[in-house]
A and B are shown apart, each in its own frame.
Chain A
Amino acid sequence: MLLTLTNTQPPATDLGFLLHKHPDRAQRYSLSFGAAHVFYPEAGEARCTACLLVDVDPVELVRGKSRAGGGLLDQYVNDRPYAASSFLSVAIGQVFSTALTGRCAARPELAAQPLPLTAHLPVTPARGDEDLVPALFEPLGYEVEIARLPLDKRFLDWGDSPYVSLTLSATITVKDLLSHLYVLLPVLDNAKHYWVGQDELEKLLRHGADWLAHHPDKGRITRRYLRHKWSLAREALARLEIVEDDSSETAPDEADSAGDAVAAPDLTSITAEEVAVEAPLSLNEARIQTVMAELAAAGVETVVDLGCGDGKLLSRLIKERRFTRLVGLDVSARALEIAADRLRLDRLPPRLRERIQLWHGGLTYRDARIEGFDAATVIEVIEHLDENRLATFERVLFQCARPRLVIVTTPNVEYNVNYEFLPAGRLRHPDHRFEWTRAEFASWGQRVAAAFGYAVRFVPVGEVDATVGAPTQMAVFVRSEGSPSAPPPQPSPTRGEGGGA
């Protein structure tokens, strides 16, 4: 990866003093992950440019003992040797350590003097959010020049690359410029190549001490720098005296980001549009409350939550004593681990513990374990199944398990027009195989109810829009009186005469 710093204040070669690197020499520095070179492609009176060139050993990235593991670092085909990232911050910290502290033994007055400086990074990650780069640098006084790199000019339909060529110009001290880059490059990349812990917080506070508290985007900077570790981020903000340490503030659970503990380029990071879709957190809450009210009204005691995910519903149900037996079933072993954490399963008192279980299982296989429950909840799950696999799930649930009450929720696609960040025709989540209109959902529900001996009614969940309805739609299936509670016999050859016993 590559960074150039240019000074245009004559005598421009003063840059050499400030960086403690002689303009007429090329120097090499060993780093844990490769090497850094510093040299000056130009060193004139009017203009002097220092170049920091960092070699990242691509084999060591994958094979090295120190590798962080996970994500893209498992890949040899990797942008890490080329794109500005936390590797470059580390290189800045080591190669320009003196300059970063603002000291200049030979010319102390020079170090404190703002100069017309330009920093250039030919390949800087800027995934998705075009506005992030100016939002980070402009408040710090930079003139920002961005040129998006094409992905492959042979295949224009592939769109742009996730990189920009970035040029920052300001009249600023070398120390401030380097501090800004040190903190903001990994923020742009939204990744770290090493474990993020308490010392990372200290680094942020040290290098951001002078400016971060006044930055309008300090919240985002802090979170991304600290890899979305909420507790660290909050401590950081508290120590910057930006926010009160108020634990009542809604915080995503630590468990949500547990999987990101090891830093990796965040390819699956939540995009702006998803954030926007999920923004009214109250929708999730509305869903849970509506479902709980239905369960309470029906007087059920045992519930199996099919596709329980990370256990949001279960964690609420467990607080109600009316539920004597709760089971969460999910196909993702990872989700179940998170659910176990959220529910603090290993710390529950025995009486509570025996009421709840988490099972691994798939919804397109018959599962004898889920038979015999009063109720099944299927919350925001069916849209993750291919439509042509739904028929099997219907039989697994309505024909074999046959609980007395079934609650199914799914997005109402008509409501999507209200999500301004969601392009027309795009579904709310990349894994959604379909999203139904109210009519489609009603027709599905009625067909299922008729086929399996249930009565069904439909309930809107969330704020109801007069034209397009509520964001979530819910179907409540109640097993009809007189309809058998046990599964009907399997296919049988008894299509002819009884043979006569």
Chain B
Amino acid sequence: MTKQLLTLRVNGEPRTVAADPHHTLLEVLREELGLTGTKHGCELGECGACTVLVEGVPVLACLTLPALVGDADVTTVEGLATGESLHPLQIAFAEEGAAQCGYCTPGMLMTAKALLDATARPTRAQIASAISGNLCRCTGYTAIYEAIEKAATRS
């Protein structure tokens, strides 16, 4: 298959790559742009590990074709911090031990960011609902809830 030129706006930066048109946003981010912070867990839309934000909305990068993203803003875990300042979610996740193996963490953080951007003080039930598409096999979710709640009080 012939590669096609593609320009994406990722973490505020315009990036032009040549990619197979059938390759997913996940593949392009990881393999063409070197943004390996976004994880693949199933490549079937089941686990949420590949969650990124497109115009602030969580999407599964493994089910998204880059062509459909166009010039919309894509935010990955690498774009979560601002300069030297980590996002309050990143600090709270560290403090609460909300990342154990860390593999679901980038997707979890992006989903949590979208939640906090829309709902400044979410209830526990709202958090549980928001992250229900992000599977974590390590924590039992308790520390993740606590971290998101803590970040909410700080942002």
Q: Do A and B bind each other?
A: no
The chain A residues found within 8 Å of chain B, CB to CB, are none
Measured CB to CB, the residues of B under 8 A from A are none
